[in-house]
Amino acid sequence: MVILLFCRQRSKPSLRWSTSSLSAHPKHDCLSHHHLQHLPQPDKRCKPYHREMAPAFSLPPMSLVRHSVGGTPCTTSTTGKSSFAHARAPYLNRFYQPAERRSTVSFTMCVPHCGRKSIRVAIPSKGDILAETKHLLSDVGIDVQIHNPRQYVASLKGLDVEVWLQRPADIVRKVRDGDVDLGIVGYDLVAEYGGDNHQVVPVHDRLGYGECRLAVGVPMEWDDCNDMSDFRRRGAGRTLRIATKYVNETKRFLEAHYVENYRLINMDGALEASTQMGTADCIIDLVSSGVTLRENLLKEIVGGTLLKSSMQLIGNREHLREESEFGARLRALSRELLERIEGYLLGRDNYNIIANIRGSSMVDVSRRLATQSNLRGVDGPTVSPVVPPADSDEGMYAISIVLPKEQLYSAIQQLRSVGGSGVTVIPVSFIFPQECKRWNTLLKSIGMSSVMEQAEKPEQVHL
């Protein structure tokens, strides 16, 4: 079915709405006459507004509202019937601007993926998490370029990839529904909004920042509440009011601990203040250091941790397993991102020690190094001959060892004890093992073996 919308002309300050086709889909929510009746009315100088249509039509999930401002595309997404009804007006009102300020406007509904060729990656839109995400990507050789701070679209230098800056919770939803192919977000939100259809898969499950835990916080004045058994007894006499924004995880956790007498209060922020305001008896929220809890006279209890969270790289299962050119490019990009990040995380806490040592042969030097616990390196030390000084009767050998930074000083002491000299320490940027275990784990989780992946020979994506 077709909705006829108005089209504005440059010569008049009236509105122009482009024609948009919406296909029915029996699996998704419907948008009824009620929603269309509240669409903004066009200028009376335009042609009559055509409202004749079927009783209801289906709205694809995560439909995209697209428009163009001066040739720059912008996209806003909504989900389902109720979300569209509430989010519609602010987006459409943006189009009521003088003709000189806007050249083209279109209002389009798109099914996720829908044959698009560009790969979409979503990252957090603001705050410390955005800064740390950009820092990580920069460290692995990928620069995020945000051209306009007021827009929510960016790019990756040297890559034909769309980067969308989104609220963390929306990143999970959009990866789940297929509007975005890859995303960087915390595991706590993946657990809360990932859904039961297993469409969200971890590409890299621990990016090394955003470490926190989802935990129960009770008032310090509850002296008799120190573990989950005490917490359950607290709810035996009266209904516990629990403030949280993790409703799904909280329900699962309380059910597992047989806590039945409670009422959840959905709050988006400043949960710690709710107990002092009297709006809640306790909270379930993210905790990192615990300082904020203590400053608001709250405490954690034994067994009250729902989950431990850190930032993850996630992907859409169906898009990753597609046997198409798009799926091959997405897997190639995912693998390169995964291996770059994995290599960086393995290498960043290590040092490469280079030293000279005298010996009769390489075997002699290797045996002496093997007697020291911190001189074995990742896969054993590298020993190579060097030209000795002219007055030396013994051979001279150079050794190279990669080891964790916490073993640095003890390793230097051990090197000296076996005759090492001229010790040089160099930071390690990356360590690439012979096989990336996380990549093999991902292939298994989406139902593809490494043999199939090699046979497919996907197009290489160069970062």
Give the model's pLDDT for residue 114: 60
461 assigned to some structural domain = no
* Residue 358 CB-half CA count within 13 A: 9
Q: Which residues pair with 299 in a beta bridge?
A: 218
Tell whether 176 and 264 lie within a shared domain: no
Domain that holds residue 256: 212-309
Tell whether 69 and 216 lie within a shared domain: no
pLDDT, tens digit (0-9, with 9 covering 90-100), for 423-461? 999 999 999 998 899 999 999 999 986 545 555 554 554
Ranges assigned E (strand) in 205-246: 212-219, 240-244
Flag whether pLDDT at 61 surpasses 70. Answer: no
384 assigned to some structural domain = yes
109 assigned to some structural domain = no
Tell whether 386 and 405 lie within a shared domain: yes
Tell whether 148 and 237 lie within a shared domain: no
Q: Which residues pair with 31 in a beta bridge?
A: 57
Flag whether pLDDT at 343 surpasses 90. Answer: yes
Contact call for residues 403 and 427 (beta carbons, < 8 A)? no
| Helical pair 127-139 and 325-347, crossing angle rounded to 10 deg | 90
Tell whether 255 and 127 lie within a shared domain: no
Contact call for residues 209 and 311 (beta carbons, < 8 A)? yes
Q: Which residues pair with 425 in a beta bridge?
A: 353
303 assigned to some structural domain = yes
Tell whether 124 and 40 lie within a shared domain: no
389 assigned to some structural domain = yes
DSSP 52: -
Confidence tier at 208 by pLDDT (50, 70, 90): very high
Give the model's pLDDT for residue 455: 53
Please report where in the chains the tokens 């990753």 appear, as a residue.
Answer: 320
55 assigned to some structural domain = yes
Tell whether 423 and 386 lie within a shared domain: yes
Q: Is the entire prediction scored with pTM above 0.85? A: no
CA distance 206 to 202: 9
- Mark which of 66, 101, 136 sits at the end of a domain: 101
CA distance 53 to 55: 7
φ, ψ of residue 102 to 5 degrees: the values are: -140, 125
- Mark which of 45, 74, 101 sits at the end of a domain: 101
Flag whether pLDDT at 101 surpasses 60. Answer: no
Give the model's pLDDT for residue 235: 84
421 assigned to some structural domain = yes
CATH code at position 422: 3.30.70.120
Tell whether 200 and 224 lie within a shared domain: no
| Between 109 and 141, the higher pLDDT residue | 141
Tell whether 172 and 305 lie within a shared domain: no
Among 73-77, 79-83, 361-365, top mean pLDDT goes to 361-365
Q: What is the mean pLDDT of the chain?
A: 78
Tell whether 123 and 259 lie within a shared domain: no
| Domain count for the chain | 4
445 assigned to some structural domain = no
Residue in 267, 263, 293 with CA at minimum distance from that of residue 281: 263
Lowest-confidence pick of 74-88, 242-256, 338-352, 438-452? 74-88
Q: Which residues pair with 214 in a beta bridge?
A: 286, 307
CATH code at position 231: 3.40.190.10
CA distance 59 to 134: 35
Flag whether pLDDT at 306 surpasses 50. Answer: yes
Work out the end-to-end distance of the chain between its first and last CA atoms, rounded to an integer number of angstroms: 43
Tell whether 7 and 39 lie within a shared domain: yes
CA distance 416 to 317: 53
Give me 401's structure tokens: 């060892």
Tell whether 59 and 18 lie within a shared domain: yes
Using the CB atoms, write b or e for 84-110: b if 16+ within 10 Å. Answer: beeebeeebeebeeeeeebeebbbebb
H/E run at residue 347 = helix 325-347
For residues 144-149, give the mean pLDDT: 89
For residues 265-287, give the mean pLDDT: 94
pLDDT, tens digit (0-9, with 9 covering 90-100), for 376-417? 887 788 999 988 777 766 788 999 999 999 999 999 999 999
